[in-house]
């Protein structure tokens, strides 16, 4: 008798793209409730929970404007609230998303100028300083950078960009995309002199897609008073004024806001420094595995490597998309694809959000098994390298019984002291 093909797969799908990320059960439960009156007292109590946690995550004391929308909407909101038709902007070509932001600016009637990049490094602060200091550099109204370029896994040093702007004596606004770094990597809008920070809900904040954010400085609010681009839905003033009464000027994504409140509580309970160190450990362990496999990361400078994701370059003659398809079919794991000029050339491993050591090892095991089955040439020892990296940076566990050096897992495997 012929057995029917199975219609379900055992176990849980591994979502290892760089966002949306896996949703914690606490966030899912927080959103699993009836919709409430978004003009009533219960909703006002919910909004009051949000602002302290959001300001802590963004590193700001001013307004954080929330829109129902994706990160692309937050890009547009940052532009239409601060710019006027024909304004010049200096933007840094660090990858796919930096280019997309520039394209939105162009469609809005702005004049973005892209500083060329190789998609293997973060923004070049010295090149920014030189361009702003050029005879025609005084006319730029904003400098825009992506903190963590999701397409490449390269980080831009935002404090260095601010220093470059100050060294040039330039008055431009500094706008920063933190969509894949917020809640995963250190970020401090006020300390770093950022005027508009762009964020999204679906990555380090551990929520579904659907919320976008602008954290706004006093300088940006002043610029908004004189900006002449049309704005209606994306108008900061309307949201900020309504928020003072605990409501929004539109029907908000009520249940996502319940999830946001829970996610902010979770980040506070773990402590942001601990969250950042956890992501740093996972980024280092992933890069150790990639190096042991003999593969190359898209980020060419280890000092600029992302702790949210790792983009891995496929060897010549091998398709990254075919590899990803095999991993999905065989091991029920989704990896991120290469975007625009990196299409079919890289795959991306997401290691951000609600993610622990065992989750990372499972993901790396799936990658290694996929490399084997796909016939991609690779070296042995990737998982051991990741494990050793994790153990070297293991967080303290005050309630765990101490281990003697002879029984720590990495030494037990290697026999080394």
pLDDT in tens, the chain (417 residues): 566 667 788 888 999 999 999 999 999 999 999 999 999 999 999 999 999 999 999 999 999 999 999 999 999 999 999 999 999 999 999 999 999 999 999 999 999 999 999 999 999 999 999 999 999 999 999 999 999 999 999 999 999 999 999 999 999 999 999 999 999 999 999 999 999 999 999 999 999 999 999 999 999 999 999 999 999 999 999 999 999 999 999 999 999 999 999 999 999 999 999 999 999 999 999 999 999 999 999 999 999 999 999 999 999 999 999 999 999 999 999 999 999 999 999 999 999 999 999 999 999 999 999 999 999 999 999 999 999 999 998 887 544 444 444 433 443 333 333
Closest CA to 314 of 327, 305, 329: 327
CA distances from 416 to 287, 388, 406, 409 (A): 22, 11, 9, 11
Query: What is the radius of gyration, based on Cα positions, of the chain?
Result: 23
- As given in the structure block, the two tokens for residue 249 are 């000027």
* Phi, psi (deg, nearest 5) at residue 227: -70, 145
- pLDDT for 395 equals 84
H or E segment and range at residue 159? helix 158-167
Could you give the domains of the chain? 25-268 (3.40.640.10), 271-394 (3.90.1150.10)
- Full DSSP string of 281-337: HHHHHHHHHHHHTT-EES---GGGB-SSEEEEEPPTT--HHHHHHHHHHHH-EEEEE
pTM of the model: 0.93
Does residue 348 have a known ligand-binding role?
A: yes
Q: How far apart are CA 355 and CA 24, in angstroms?
A: 9
Q: In whole angstroms, give the CA distance from residue 332 to residue 204.
A: 23
- Token pair in block for residue 307: 């702790």
pLDDT of residue 2: 65
Question: What confidence score (pLDDT) does residue 8 get?
Answer: 80
Taking the CB of residue 341, how many other CB atoms lie within 10 A of it? 11
- Chain segment 47-72, per-residue pLDDT in tens: 999 999 999 999 999 999 999 999 99
Phi, psi angles (nearest 5°) of residue 405: -55, -30
| pLDDT on residue 5 | 67
How far CA 70 is from CA of 99, 105, 211, 389, 401, in Å, comes to: 17, 16, 6, 35, 45
pLDDT at 416: 38
Q: Assess contact for 57 and 232: CB atoms under 8 A.
A: no
Q: Which residue has the tokens 């065989």?
A: 330
What pLDDT is recorded for position 407?
Answer: 39
The count of residues in the chain is 417
CA pair distance 408, 175, nearest whole angstrom = 46
Residues 6+ apart with CB under 8 A from 403: none
Tell me how far the alpha carbon of residue 133 is from its chain's centroid: 31
Rounded to 5 degrees, what angle do the CA atoms 68, 73, 79 make?
130
Reference 214, options 50, 79, 21, 93; nearest CA is: 79
> How far is 360 from 282, CA to CA, in rounded Å?
7
Cα–Cα nearest to 182, from 18, 372, 367: 18
Contact 190, 341 (CB under 8 A): no
DSSP letter (8 states) at residue 406:
G
> Using an 8 Å Cβ cutoff, are 290 and 304 in contact?
no
Contacts of 113 (CB under 8 A, 6+ apart): 88, 89, 90, 91, 131, 140
pLDDT value, residue 151? 98
As a whole number of angstroms, the distance between CA 411 and CA 417 comes to 6
Q: How far, in Å, CA of 115 to CA of 266, rounded?
A: 38
- Helix H, strand E, coil C: the string for 156-224 is CCHHHHHHHHHHCCCCCEEEEECCCCCCCCCCCCCCCCCCEEEEECCCCCCCCCCEEEEEECHHHHHHH
pLDDT for position 397 = 57
- Asked whether 288 and 385 are in contact (CB, 8 A), the reply is yes
Q: Whose structure tokens read 């508009």?
A: 196
């Amino acid at each position: 008798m012929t057995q029917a093909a199975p219609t379900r797969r055992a176990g849980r799908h591994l979502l290892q793209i760089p966002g949306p990320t896996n949703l914690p059960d606490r966030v899912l439960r927080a959103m699993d409730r009836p919709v409430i009156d978004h003009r009533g007292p219960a909703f006002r109590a919910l909004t009051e929970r949000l602002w302290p946690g959001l300001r802590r995550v963004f590193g700001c004391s001013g307004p954080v404007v929330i829109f129902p929308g994706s990160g692309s909407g937050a890009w547009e909101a940052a532009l239409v609230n601060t710019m006027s038709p024909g304004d010049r902007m200096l933007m840094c070509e660090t990858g796919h998303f930096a280019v997309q932001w520039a394209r939105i600016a162009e469609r809005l009637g702005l004049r973005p100028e892209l500083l060329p990049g190789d998609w293997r490094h973060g923004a070049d602060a010295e090149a920014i300083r030189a361009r702003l200091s050029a005879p025609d550099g005084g006319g730029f109204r904003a400098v825009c950078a992506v903190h963590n370029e999701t397409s490449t896994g390269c980080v831009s040093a935002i404090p260095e960009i601010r220093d470059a702007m100050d060294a040039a004596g330039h008055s431009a606004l500094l706008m920063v995309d933190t969509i894949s770094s917020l809640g995963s990597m250190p970020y401090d809008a006020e300390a770093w002199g950022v005027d508009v920070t762009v964020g999204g809900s679906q990555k380090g904040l551990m929520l579904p897609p659907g919320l976008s954010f602008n954290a706004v400085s006093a300088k940006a609010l002043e610029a908004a008073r004189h900006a002449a681009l049309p704005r209606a839905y994306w108008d900061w003033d309307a949201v900020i004024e309504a928020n003072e009464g605990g409501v929004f000027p539109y029907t908000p994504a009520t249940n996502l806001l319940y999830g946001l409140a829970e996610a902010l509580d979770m980040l506070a309970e773990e402590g942001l420094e601990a969250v950042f160190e956890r992501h740093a450990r996972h980024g280092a362990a992933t890069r150790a595995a990639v190096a042991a496999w003999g593969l190359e990361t898209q980020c060419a400078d280890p000092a600029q490597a992302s702790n949210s994701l790792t983009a891995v370059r496929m060897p010549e003659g091998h398709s990254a998309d075919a590899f990803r398809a095999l991993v999905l079919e065989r091991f029920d794991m989704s990896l991120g694809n290469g975007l625009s000029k990196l299409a079919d050339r890289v795959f991306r491993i997401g290691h951000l959000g609600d993610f622990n050591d065992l989750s990372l090892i499972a993901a790396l095991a799936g990658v290694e098994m996929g490399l084997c089955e796909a016939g991609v040439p690779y070296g042995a020892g990737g998982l051991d390298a990741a494990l050793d990296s994790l153990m070297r940076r293991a967080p303290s566990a005050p309630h765990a019984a101490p281990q003697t050096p002879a029984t720590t897992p990495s030494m037990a495997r290697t026999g080394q002291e």
